[in-house]
Structure 1
Amino acid sequence: MSDTPVIGVLALQGDVREHLVALATADAVARPVRRPEELAEVDGLVIPGGESTTISKLAVLFGLMEPLRERVRAGMPVYGTCAGLILLAEKILDPRSGQETVGGIDMIVRRNAFGRQNESFEAAVEVRGVASPVDGVFIRAPWVESVGASVEVLAEHDGHIVAVRQGNALATSFHPELTGDHRLHELFVAMVRAVRAE
């Protein structure tokens, strides 16, 4: 078995290409995932930013929602950014009609919590496990309202939780794939390698 993990990026909507580049830079084989059979072939998955309701509805339409839930429940490493964070939540405070989540992290999230598109911003974010601050790009970003006891809070911004980890699931409110700083992708690739080594 090759030591290089194969990591998918859910390629239904959102900033897929940027994640593929970041994962490749972080020494993974990166593949777009649009169908259940493609999901079955990856060691881990990134759920990108985009529009969480659209991604949710397309995942159902493409027959991916249940296979995704099953793989995440079975321990497949998964990393969600922005909309991906929303999709990994057990509960959304203000869901849109028909919006579903994959689940995997015991947290409650608020969509668009940091404001609309024109209120997007960048900020230095101290992330536990990363040596120096990362440049967080917040675009209509959610925040985490609350977490269960088994969730590790990795970062906060202005008093709000913006990065979490529970077991093999990692999530950030912000977009590290847009900055050229791939340390969070490297952290995720390390998580995938650890699961493969077991």
Structure 2
Amino acid sequence: MSEGAVAFPESRIPNPESRSVRILGIDPGSQRTGVGIIDVDGTGKLTHVFHGALAVAGEATFPLRLKRIFDELCDIIAAHQPAECGIERVFMARNPDSALKLGQARGAAICAVVSQGITVHEYAATEVKQSVVGSGRGDKAQVQHMIGILLGLKGPLQADAADALAIAVTHAHTRASLARVGIPRTAWRRRR
């Protein structure tokens, strides 16, 4: 080691994986479900793969909305082959009917992911904002702006798609942080 160089403990040195990991982020909703997919390599570099919003409000009945969420997520998973998934945890809504519908839409999304053999990790909205914006009280415009910067996207992002990408980025940051401190992958899979 050269003079003046600083030695770091072995646990502080990043251990890059030889391949990238594809992460699916889902922002569930009964009107629109946001979907975002990123790749993250062993150095933490994030690459945009796909984003969109499943607009299901036009379906004739609510059960058909849930089926459409399930079917379209299965198609997206088949097309892009993500290895891991992050989804927003349900928050307490003022309207019980809205909260119930959101929970059902979230359930349809989770079932679609799990049916494809992918582990689901849950994140609260404040965790996502903290990870992406640096404050758990950030607003949607800040999240959209930072996602554009982090993933090199040009132009405006639809809010649900930006939130889904933010959830995927949060999962990438979380998995990297846990790996750096030596927590085995099997220990943090318990999130869902």
TM-score when normalising by structure 1: 0.31
Higher relative contact order (CA 8 A, sep 6+): 2
Of Structure 1 and Structure 2, the greater strand share is in 1
